[in-house]
Structure 1
Amino acid sequence: MVKIAIAGAGALGKRWSEVVARSGTGEARLSAVVDPLIGTDQEPVWPKEQKSVSQFGSIEQMRDLEIDAVLVTASSPAHAPAVRVALLNGYHVLVEKPFTVDLDDAESLVVLARERDRILMVNQNYRFFPGPQTVQKLVRIGELGSIRAVAGQFWCDWPGKPYQHTMLHPMSLEMAIHHFDLVRFMFGAEAVSGWIHEWNPRRSPYRMGGALEALFIMGDKGARFPFSYTGSLVTTAPPVPWGGFWRFEFDEATLFADEFDGNYALYLSSPNGRVKIGEFGDPTMGFDKSFRHFLDCIENAAEPTSSGRDNLNTLRMALNFLR
């Protein structure tokens, strides 16, 4: 039984409490909720509804409670300090994306997790969508030939949370980072060079960076391919599904993730148009599978596929190529 504490009692924390509850008897149990607003006149309501769950204003206050792992679901700027305190107190950590908003912080946390021999995983839950899993398998099999080009798109009129309105690079760190990570995951490739241009649409509620255009050159064991990306959190257009719209150009075929007749799926191009080969998104958003992977890694002392160490390269894509 893995005893879980959730650090961050907002809507995302509540969602994770439901994931923990679904994990199965004997697998994991929510034992504590941590939030600085607990005990104030602004304290969240949902933790009070959790039976036999302790509540604390800080992670340090849990020291006398038996806890194995902390799920960090606080606002993005609060990730680094929360992860650091959790690791220093000996807990395994699953932190929501983005890992941190500063690369130096992320690198130091990876070192700390290694020194403390703790699991540190970043929740890149889109990796558990069926579409990216299928693409990764097709790449490994190699029957479509080599990948030659990737194009991704995402836009959504997202009002944003108060902290997102004032943070740097909201589109890159809060949304595009999902899609940058997917390309790394699907193709086993890293960005060897790149360029990101941010701008702010006129009606944006964000201080800066509500939209971006990006171009990366991805490297895969010597072979290289371009990855172009358009993303915006401010638009009057219909929203794109969370997994994004995609076009994958292989030597022998073209795959694309798109929505036709209300069906968002992965398609193979054909002389007659298209053939659906499977779903792309996941109605559960991959949270349950991501949590299952975290529990398995704790049990087997294994490094997660989206470990803090691995996720450094995703964070570098989101931050190092900004112009």
Structure 2
Amino acid sequence: MTHARIDCGPRSPLRLIVVGSGRMGRAWLRAVTDAPETELVGIVDLDAEAARQAAADLGRPDLPTAAALPALAERTGAQAVVNVTTPVAHHPVTTEALFAGLPVLGEKPIADTLARALSLAAAAEASGQLFMVSQSRRWNPRLFALRDLLSGLGAIGTLTTEFYKAPHFGGFREEMAHPLLVDMAIHAFDSARFLLGAEPVSVYCEAFNPPWSWYDGDASACATFEMEAGTRYLYHGSWCAPGAETSWNGSWRASGEKGTAQWDGESEPVADPDVTSREAAYDGPAEIAGALHAFVEALRTGGTPMGEAHENAMSLAMVEAAVESARTERRVSVDSVLERAHARAVADERRPGVRAVLSAWDSDSVREALAGRDPAPASALSRTPPTR
């Protein structure tokens, strides 16, 4: 998808407004402040006092703040938005920004439902603005290194993630029906798509809650995805597994025709037998700083970054398919999930231009409407952004 370009970068910093000043919002405020290619020009939050306090905590008590985006954007000359609101607010805030002529970098998930995710991808098309989602774990140098190892193993039979943690969050996560699948597993699912360079076909998932769990909903899950070319991606995880916990990135193992690669989620990945690296190591910014850098580069060059809305929607499709499989106790086709989400998106859409884009997509193959927008595997935006 083509999108509007902006003359920005270290010599002409991108003027950004951050929407949301909660815990994650503050992390983004610091990232935007620290990056030489961006300038923080305002904070938007429905809680005006929270926005003012966040500005003060940055050492910028005079930074403009507001409860609504459009007026502040006009007053500050903002050029783009970082949306760090709660998932239910992702759709209205991002849509408003895109049609105000402001490209958006949003926190994961792309939206609270797949139907709204499709609406946002269509809104990006209709507005001609870039909408990118920050799946921050993609910008991990060791994940790039693991993908490089997989490329030397020939055909991949299975890719496995084990994720075992025991956090006591309190609040909404402990009340969700599927806290692990809905709030956490998308990181691993998205990373699996990145590592394999393949999209999901179907899934069988079992979700359950151990008797000692402090969660109301199912805090454990086992999912088997069939990916393109027949590779199986296996996800085993729990949020109520005390002792011998894995990294927050999980523990990974890939079995291929020429060997096996492993990654503990923290140290350098290894392969047995050794595999010669065929790509330059990723040496760009990591985590959310990496996503921010890619967003600015894409706006400057007109390129397509990892996490562009069309491409990222497939990670949320994996989540919704896994939840449906757990609920129905049957194997679920990802295409069927996409088709139902598309029908709901068309029915719910109120903007004529967005509805026209959605209606132009073939409801029998939403996958094709989302495809063809992936970044080139070796592009500067997807593999080796230049160091700052």
Give the match for residue 89 of structure 1. 100
**1:228, CA displacement in angstroms?**
0.8
Q: How many residues in Structure 1 have an aligned counterpart in Structure 2?
A: 305
Q: Give percent identity, aligned residues only.
A: 25
Equivalent-residue separation in structure 2 for 1:11 and 1:121 (angstroms): 21
Q: Is the 8 A contact 2:141 2:286 kept in 1?
A: no
Q: Secondary structure, in 3 states, of the residue corresponding to 2:33? A: helix
- Residue 195 (structure 2) aligns with: 186
More displaced, 159-168 or 149-158? 159-168
Structure having the higher helix fraction is 2
Partners of 1:181 and 1:161 in 2: CA distance: 26
- Counterpart Cα distance in 2 of 1:67 and 1:33: 11
Unaligned stretches of 5+ residues in structure 2: 1-12, 327-388
Q: Residue by residue, what CA displacement relative to the aligned partner does 1:220-259 show, whole Å, maximum 9, x if unpaired? A: xxx2111111112222123311221011001111111127
The AA in structure 2 aligned to 1:12 is M
Output the amino acid matched with 1:13: G
Cα deviation for residue 43 of structure 1 reads 6.0
- Does the C-alpha gap of structure 1 residues 12 and 161 become closer, same or farther in structure 2, counting only changes over 3 Å? farther
Q: Would the alpha carbon gap of residues 162 and 88 (structure 1) be closer, same or farther in structure 2, given more than 3 Å must change? A: farther
What amino acid is the match of 2:145? T
Match of 1:133 among 118, 125, 144: 144
* Cα 1:161–1:71 shift into 2, 3 Å: farther
Q: SS of 2:241's equivalent?
A: coil
Q: Matched residue of 1:45: which SS? A: helix
Q: By percentage of residues, which structure has more strand?
A: 1
Question: How has the CA–CA distance of structure 1 residues 234 and 115 changed in structure 2, closer, same or farther, with 3 Å as cutoff?
Answer: same
Three-state SS of the structure 2 residue aligned to 1:264 is coil
Evaluate the alpha carbon distance shift between residue 171 and residue 9 of structure 1 in structure 2; reply closer, same or farther with a 3 A threshold.
same
Query: Do structure 1's residue 305 and structure 2's residue 317 form an aligned pair?
Result: no
Please name the residue that 2:53 is paired with. Answer: 45
Tell me if 1:119 matches 2:125. no
Which residue is 1:98 aligned to?
109
Partner of 1:19: 31
Gaps of 5+ in 1: none
1:234 equivalenced with 2:240 (yes/no): yes
Letter matched to residue 53 of structure 2: V
Q: CA deviation at 1:20?
A: 1.2
Shift of 1:103: 0.6
Q: Which residue of 2 aligns with 1:6?
A: 18
Give the counterpart letter for 1:160 in structure 2: F
Using the TM superposition, give the Cα deviation of residue 161 of structure 1 relative to its aligned residue in structure 2, in angstroms.
5.8
Classify 1:33/1:168 alpha carbon distance in 2 versus 1 (closer, same or farther; 3 Å). Answer: farther
In 1: Cα distance, 2:51 partner to 2:293 partner:
29
Runs of 4+ in 1 over 6 A off after TM superposition: none
User: What is the alpha-carbon root mean square deviation over aligned residues?
Assistant: 2.6
Within a 5 Å distance, the mapping from 1:248-267 to structure 2 comes to 248-258=254-264, 264-267=267-270
Partners of 1:162 and 1:56 in 2: CA distance: 27
1:35 to 25, 41, 45: 45
Tell me the CA shift for residue 150 of structure 1.
0.8
